[in-house]
Amino acid sequence: MLKRTLVALAATAALAACDVAAPASSTAGPGTVPVPPGNAAGLFRQVCVANQDDLSGATATLAALPFTRNSGQDIYYHDRLDLSFKVTPNGASAVCSMVWGPTEGLGRYVQAIRQVAPEALVDAGDGGLLRAGILGLY
């Protein structure tokens, strides 16, 4: 009897893990802490690069991290850092992009991002923010 109960609990926990979603809010926005190059590259690797073969999995990764999804924009904002992610599907492929507030110039970030994703596009966006993107399957 105990064995059946443990198996049932394990199965329930496994099913619950499949439905993990990040908290959502229509007012979610970026945090205020600028992001050093190593942190930006590490989060890009963890969210985009690790899920490149199936970018739909990036949302589960974000749910396990301190991110809140803006339900109106479908953008995942870090709760503390000035950093966000968006996964944009386009048929069988998708783009996983990250936008963040830098602590240094673009060069250090390009180098850090390219170490984890040589094919990533990294450039300066609006308002002094930086952005990186990678194409993957969806």
pLDDT digits (tens, 9 = 90+) for 22-35: 999 999 999 999 99
pLDDT digits (tens, 9 = 90+) for 5-57: 333 333 333 434 455 789 999 999 999 999 999 999 999 999 999 999 999 99
User: Given this model, what pLDDT does residue 95 score?
Assistant: 97
Query: In the chain, what are the domain boundaries?
Result: 21-137
Percent of the chain at pLDDT above 90?
A: 80
Burial classification of residue 60, based on how many CB atoms lie within 10 Å of its CB (0-12 exposed, 13-18 middle, 19 or more buried): middle
pLDDT digits (tens, 9 = 90+) for 89-122: 999 999 999 999 999 889 999 999 999 999 999 9
